[in-house]
Every structure is written in C-alpha cells, then in structure tokens.
Amino acid sequence: MKPRDLVEIKIFDTMERAQGCPICTLINENVERLVDTIFYELVNDPQIRGDLRSSGLCKRHTEMIEKYLKHHPELGLLGVAIIYEDLLQNQIDLMTQNSLDSMGNKGCYLCEHENEIEKTYLSSFSRIFSETDGLNLYEKSNSILCLYHYYKISTVVDEPFAKGLKSIQHAKLSNLKNQLSIFIRKHDYRNKEPFGKEAAAYKIVGALMAKPVNLSIRRNSKWQIWKNSKER
C-alpha cells in the first residue's frame, strides 16, 4: 500500500518504528515540534502570545515543556521565562479586574492543538484501516493502537474491516500479554535466562491502557460543581 498524502507518509513511517500506539506517537511528536518552534522562533509572536493568554496551559503540558527544555538546552530558558512572565501578568490583570472566573473554564493551548491533530490522524487511520492493504500493513508493523484510539477507529470503519482490525488487535494484545508472562516468569530465582524485549512490555502495556485525560478541564469541572453547590 502506497501513501496517498503527506499525512499517510508520516503514518506509515510511524507504524513501522513505533512499538506503542502510532497515533499517540504522532500526536506527541507534533506537540513537541510546536513547543520547539515556539521557543526557538515564536516567543514574541503576537498571535501565539494571545492564544496562550486566552487558553493558558494545563499542568500536564507545563511539565512536558519543562521536560522538553531540559532535554534541549540549546533552546535555553529565556523564552519560557518571557512567555510565563506574560501569562502571569495577564493573570495579575485579571485578578485586578476580578475576572479570574473567565479563565477558570478555559482549556489549554496545547490540549486544543492535540485535539485538532488527533482528529486529523483518526480520520486518516480510519481511511487506511478501511482497506485490506491497510490492515495488512498494521498487522505486519511493530505498532499497536492504544485501547482508546482502537475503540475510536473501530466504531467508524465498516463492519468487515472492523472485524479484521479486532482480530489483529487481539493478536497484538495477546502477544504483549505473553511477554508480560515471560517477564514475570523470569523473576523466578531458579531462572537462568537473561531478560530480553519482554522487559519493556509493562511500559508499553501501561501506555496502551492509559486513558487520555485533560486534567485542567477535569479540575475546572469539579471546581465549577463545587462552586455551584455553594451558591445554592
């Protein structure tokens, strides 16, 4: 099966090299590229500044930014300091205007970007998995869809292809389960075999089972429920 556009080129490459979910991998790489671009050349861009002030950043993505900058010292820390100063000043201005509640229900700039990228890749994967060649490509690849993205795709592809996808996904999950069993068995004190690829199975399984959560939206929702209860 040959890629039909640039998105599919990225997808095919990722399916071959990624051991985990190819959609999660593509989303994470895209967000990292955006973060790199912002701190390399868009720190003073008015549009970026305005979008960040409007949406803010969730805890997950501020931690991701710090981790990314730690692994890319060439970007320095001046850019993040400038952007955070601007965001903090915006919060101070809102506090002065008693307008903090207007920020409380907003999401996160990078979460919003993630959501848009996810829609693009879900659409492309659904198209690929609606063809026999696409399913064969997935079956032969090293990648395995996380449970969240598997269920997302399986509900939109036609039934014959959904059954084929289910069969492939079941086989891939069973293989991972076997690797976990081998990893557990090798911890027996009588074991003489060295650890192999099964040693990384728990990390892959953990990522596949993890549910995507926008922490900022969840916390703001709980806060709003509590706030409304107090106002009654």
- The residue extents of the domains of the chain are 6-209
Q: Which amino acid is at 136?
A: N
Question: pLDDT tens digit string along 105-160?
Answer: 567 999 999 999 999 999 999 999 999 999 999 999 989 999 999 999 999 999 99
27 by Cβ neighbours in 10 Å (0-12 / 13-18 / 19+) ranks as buried
Q: Which residue would you say has higher pLDDT here, 171 or 210?
A: 171
Question: What's the whole-number mean pLDDT along residues 181-195?
Answer: 89
Read off the pTM.
Answer: 0.81
Question: pLDDT tens digit string along 217-226?
Answer: 444 554 455 4
Question: What's the whole-number mean pLDDT along residues 40-60?
Answer: 93
Place of tokens 């004190």: 189
Of the chain, the end-to-end C-alpha distance in Å amounts to 60
Question: What's the whole-number mean pLDDT along residues 11-21?
Answer: 90
Instruction: Supply 140's token pair.
Output: 């032969």
Which one, of 62, 91, 63, 101, lies nearest residue 223 by Cα? 101
Alpha helices in 77-214 (DSSP H): 78-96, 101-104, 109-128, 132-140, 147-154, 159-185, 201-209
CA distances from 149 to 118, 132, 210 (A): 9, 19, 11
